[in-house]
Structure formats: structure tokens, C-alpha cells
Structure 1
Amino acid sequence: MATVGFDKLYYSKITEATDGTETYAAPVLLAKAIKCDLSIDLAEATLYADDAAQTVVKEFKSGKLSLGVDDIGPSAAENLTGAVLDTNGVLVSASEDGGKPVAIGFRAKKANGKYRYFWLYRVVFGVPATNLETKGDSIKFATPTIEGTITQRNKVDGNGKHPWKTEVNEDDSGVLAAIISAWFTTVYEPDYTTGT
């Protein structure tokens, strides 16, 4: 179903164990959401035999996430880009800075008024783009855009795979209300247990 809105933009800091597996902190509101562009790169291979394609494999390689937001506060900028606040409260970005991976959660309103919820498990952001323009005859808003690279997480799920995204529609059959109500209180962990 088509979506008609985008809001509730959260991030969760990641702590990595010595083996590289991730633990997620409590989600924090990042900013007010304006726009989200998500594109995916696939690793592809085709095996040809007897003059025809016999096997085609397409696997997630990485993705790009571009977020338009109303503002990126200093705390979020520190956590997402590696910039630091000096003792005077000035945000300082250095060429040696690099963002640490975070999880990103958000929701999209569907045409029927229900929501689709997302978590991207591992995103590394760069320095936000700044677009400024002098005020002319009309008012134009200038808002920051921050871009990140999405990768799979190191931690395996219950099926032994490395997920990169989860998503759920609140009106899908079999989705518990508790899953939706807790979506932004913790980063969702896949659950493959059966209720027997």
C-alpha cells in the first residue's frame, strides 16, 4: 500500500562486543522527519548453462539512507558523525572524525491511516549537508540532510543470518499490539520461536 507520511525518526547507539556483535542502547528521538530516501545495492551473479540462465543469485550488499530533517542537534551530531562539543558548547567537526554505526528506526503512514514500522540495524553517517540561501521575495526553508551507508549487522539472528532491516505493518494479521507499542522503546530483535 502507498505511504503518505514519514515520522518518529529515532536512532540507537551501538556497543560492539569483542567478537563484533552489537548491543543496542535505548532509542533516542533524532529529529523531526521531513524526507527519507532508501536505496539498496545488490550483489548479483548469474550462472549460465546450456545457453541459458540457470541460477540467479541476488543478495543484499549495502544501502544508502538519506534523511531530510528539521534540525540535527549537537548531541545527535556527536553520536552520528563523530563531531565533538568543546568546553564552550561549540560543535567541532574534524577531518579525522568518523561516525560510529547506529540503528535507525522510523515509521511511514499508509494511505489507510495505519503505519509501517522500520528498523535499519547498522547505519554509518557522514557529516550533514548544509544548504543556505539568502532571503529574497519569498521565504524558503533550509534544512539539513544527512546521508549514511547501511550494512548488515554482525550479530546473527535466530536463523543464523545477518539482518539489515526489519519492517512491519501494524494492520498485518498476526502482528501483536505489543510489538507496535514497543517499537521505539527498544530496537526490535527477530523472534523465530514457536508458541507450542
Structure 2
Amino acid sequence: MATIGLDKLYYAKITENDAGEETYGTPSQLAKAISADLSVELAEATLYADDGASEIVKEFKSGTLSLGIDDIGSAAASDLTGATIDKNKVLISASEDGGDPVAVGFRAKKSNGKYKYYWLYRVKFGIPATNLATKGDSITFSTPTIEGTILRRNKADAGSKHPWKAEALEGDVTAATITNWYKEVYEPTYTALPEKTT
């Protein structure tokens, strides 16, 4: 079913222990969402035997998230890109900056009126692109775009897998799952653990 809307764009800061396993902070609103383009890159391998393809493996490698937003505030820009806010509350970007990964959550409205909710567990953002134009005969909005690389998380879930995305369709999941979606980054739970792959 087609989507007709996008809103509630949030991010959660990540802290890591010595093993690199993530703990997520309380989600905060990033900005008002205009667009979200998500593309995925797969690692692929094909084993040929007896003159044909015997086994094919396709695994998540990384992804790219490009967000069109109305504005990015100083606090969010600092969290996402590593820029510094000085004592006068001026955002200072330096060549040595490099933000830490964050989790990113948002929702998309479906044409039936229900929402699909997302969490991307580990996104490393670059410097936001800025488009500026002088005012002419008509009004043109200039809005920033920020692009990040999506990675799988280091921390394994209860099924010993390393998720990179969680999706929930309103009506298919419990009401509590939707109610709590932006209170904390969703943690996978299983009634029966998936089989481990060797």
C-alpha cells in the first residue's frame, strides 16, 4: 500500500560499552520531516556447482538515509555531526568534527490512514547540505538535507542477530508497541527465538 505522508522524525543518542554494544538514550525530535530516502546495499555471493547456481547469499551491508528537513537546530546538529556550540550558543563546525552514530525513528502514513513506524538502529551522519537562494518574484523555500550511512548495530538481539532496522505497521502490532515507539528505541523481543545460522 502506498504512503502519503511522513512525520515524527526523532533521533536517539548512542553510548557504547567497551565491547561497542549500544545503549540508546531517550529519543528527541530531530526536525520536521519533508522527505526520507532510504537505499540499501547488499553483500552478495553466488556459489556455482554442477554447472549452475548452488547457493546464493544476500546480506545487508550498509544503507544510505537522505533526510529533507525543515531546519536542524544547534543541539541536533551538534549531536549528529559533532559540531560544537560555543558559550554564545553559536554552532561551530570544524574540519576535525565527526559525529557519533545515532538511532533514527520516523513514521509514514499509508493511504488507508494507518502508519508504518521505523527505527534505524545506527546511522552516522555527515555535514548537512545547505541550499540558499536570493528572493525573487516568487517565494522559494530553501531547506537543508542531511545524509547518513546506515549500519547494523553492534549489539546482538535476543536472537543473536545484529538488526539494522525495525518496522511496525499500525494495526498489526499491539497498541502498546505504538504508544511506546518514541519513548525509547524499540528493542526486538521474540516468543520463539529464531534459529541461529552457522
Q: TM-score, normalised by structure 2?
A: 0.95
Q: Which residue of 1 aligns with 2:181?
A: 183
Residue in 2 that maps onto 1:43? 43
Output one character per residue of 1:137-162: Cα deviation in whole Å (capped at 9) or x when no partner: 11100000000000000000011000
Structure 1 residue ranges, 4+ long, deviating more than 2 angstroms after superposition: none
Residue 193 of structure 1: how far off its partner (Å): 3.4
Aligned to 1:133: 133
Gaps of 5+ in 2: 193-198
Q: Which residue of 2 aligns with 1:69?
A: 69
Counterpart of 2:17, as a letter, is A
For residues 1-196 of structure 1, the aligned pairs below 5 Å read: 1-172=1-172, 175-193=173-191
Name the count of aligned residue pairs.
192
CA deviation string 1:44-86 (max 9, x = no partner):
0011112111111000000000000000000000000000011
CA RMSD of aligned residues (A): 0.7
Aligned-pair identity in percent equals 69
Superposed CA offset, 1:4-38 (max 9, x none): 00000000000001111000000000000000000
What TM-score do the two structures reach when normalised by structure 1? 0.96
Q: Secondary structure at the match of 1:159?
A: coil
Q: Which amino acid aligns with 2:177?
A: I
The CA deviation at 1:99 is: 1.1
Please tell me the residue identity of whatever aligns with 2:146. Answer: I
Distance in 1 between residues matched to 2:54 and 2:135, nearest whole Å: 60
DSSP-derived class of the 2:94 partner = coil
Q: Structure 1: state its 5+ residue gaps.
A: none
Q: Structure 1: how far apart are the matches of 2:55 and 2:135?
A: 57
2:196 maps to none
> Following TM superposition, by how much is the alpha carbon of 1:136 offset from its aligned partner in structure 2, in angstroms?
1.1
